[in-house]
Chains A and B, each alone.
Chain A
Amino acid sequence: MTEVQTPAQTVGPFLSLGLATADGPYVVAPDAPDGFWIRGQVRDGAGAVLTDALVETWQAGPDGRFGAAFRGFGRCPTDDDGRYAIRTRKPGPVPAPGGRPQAPHLDVSVFARGLLHRVVTRIYFPDEAGNDADPVLSSVPADRRHTLVATAAGDGYRFDIHLQGDDETVFFRI
């Protein structure tokens, strides 16, 4: 039996009413010793920041596993400067189909007014030797791979999201 799937609709401008929680950004506790911040801004095709977007992240625990032992989930609405911040730690290795290793990564969903469905991207880390062999990164045109790799920043990493334009972030079909 195949049912009619429920279509997506935009999260709208008032998403924080339903989806913002105080602990949303904390994939790990604020005092977790191996924790760091991933910070960034979300921009539209004119370069303007989105003040009404929501960034969600999903990742494996340090052992590469998913489950109740590690929350793995983060979410943060953008603020009046279009900024989001997620406090997390590096995920462990997750195999690709066929058993090849993937480089450490976070899956990301972006929701916003003006997005009729979420867009999906990934965050990779700049200090990982495994990036070159990662099957997903390798499938992305070389001149756009940098849009998926965070840059080092003072208290962690920076990952900006460009929904449209010359430096448009790579988004995935899943």
Chain B
Amino acid sequence: MIVHPPLLWPAYRSTLLRAPSREPVLLPHTMTELTAPVFGDDRVSAADADLTYANGGEAQGQRIVVHGQVRDSDGRPVPHTLVEVWQANAGGRYRHKVDRHDAPLDPHFTGAGRVLTDADGHYRFVTIKPGAYPWGNHPNAWRPAHIHFSLFGQAFTQRLVTQMYFPDDPLFAYDPIFNSVPSEAGRRALIAGFDLSATVQAWALGFRFDVVLGGPAATPMEQP
């Protein structure tokens, strides 16, 4: 099964001049490809996993808990790996100079966080449910609400940047980025599940988003 979207996907117009047109060359897996950077606990603080509070106040919007497990394609947990997230605020606006969407910024929401997975590959952060927002790809184009995820895994081959979506978004059918994923199973894998067990009574809704990385990682035996 083809996992990832094709680089050339004309419905997403920005791919037209950016997708390489030549066939990629096969890269053998040497230690450079079978290893990955290690980020220690000193790189991440507990506050980095709570996006609901900034600049002395609480962010507007629906508080949510997002958690899950990072595994490799054999189902093994990926421990102590860095998960970086960024997103729009509840109104669908990013705190970024390029975002021209006419929705208010929230002084108490920066929209960026980071967390390390634990020994069993689990991560958890608290944030605000992002809003949908318009973009210029085609007339009346709106991105479904999503959170950007960046993961390193244990090998260069496992490096992944993706987006987490929310269940039952009516915008899925119209979004060329979501629909660039070639399989139904792959598209489903990008949608978090509502998780009552992670929901915190009288405080925040829970969502679960597991991430499965491809590619092998080196065992310590292979280090020359």
**Which residues does A use to contact B, with CB under 8 Å?**
1-19, 44-46, 48, 50, 52, 56, 58-60, 64-68, 71-73, 94-97, 102, 105, 107, 109, 111-120, 122, 135-136, 139-140, 144, 163-165, 168-174
Contact = CB atoms under 8 A, between A and B. Distances in A.
Of A10, A50, A96, A97, chain B has the most CB atoms within 10 Å of the CB of A10
Interface string B14-25: 111111111011
A14 B21 CA distance: 25
A168 B94 CA distance: 32
B37 to A, nearest CB: 4
Contacts of B35: 58, 66-67
Contacts of A18: 84-86, 111-114, 148, 150
Interface of B: 3-7, 9, 12, 14-22, 24-33, 35-38, 71, 73-75, 84-86, 94-96, 98-99, 110-114, 146, 148, 150, 156-157, 159-163, 177-178, 180-181, 185-190, 210-215, 223-224
Given A7-B5, A97-B30, A116 B96 contact: no
14 contacts: A2-B75, A8-B160, A10-B12, A16-B96, A17-B95, A18-B84, A18-B113, A44-B18, A68-B38, A97-B28, A97-B30, A107-B33, A109-B159, A174-B157
Interface centre among B22, B25, B160 (most CB of A within 10 A): B25
B26 A45 contact: no
Contacts of A169: 20
A174 B156 contact: yes
Contact of A95 (B71, B177, B224): B224
B75 A3 contact: yes
Nearest to B71: A3
B96 A17 contact: yes
Closest 9 A/B residue pairs (Cβ):
A18-B86, A114-B14, A73-B37, A172-B27, A114-B18, A116-B5, A66-B35, A173-B24, A9-B163
A41 B156 CA distance: 23
Given A58-B37, A67-B38, A164 B14 contact: no
A24 B9 CA distance: 31
Contacts of B163: 9-10, 12
B96 A14 contact: yes
Given A95-B30, A174-B29, A6 B162 contact: yes
B84 A7 contact: no
A64 to B, nearest CB: 7
B27 A136 contact: yes
Given A5-B3, A60-B31, A114-B18, A71 B37 contact: yes
Contacts of A116: 4-7, 9, 12, 15, 177, 180
A54 to B, nearest CB: 9
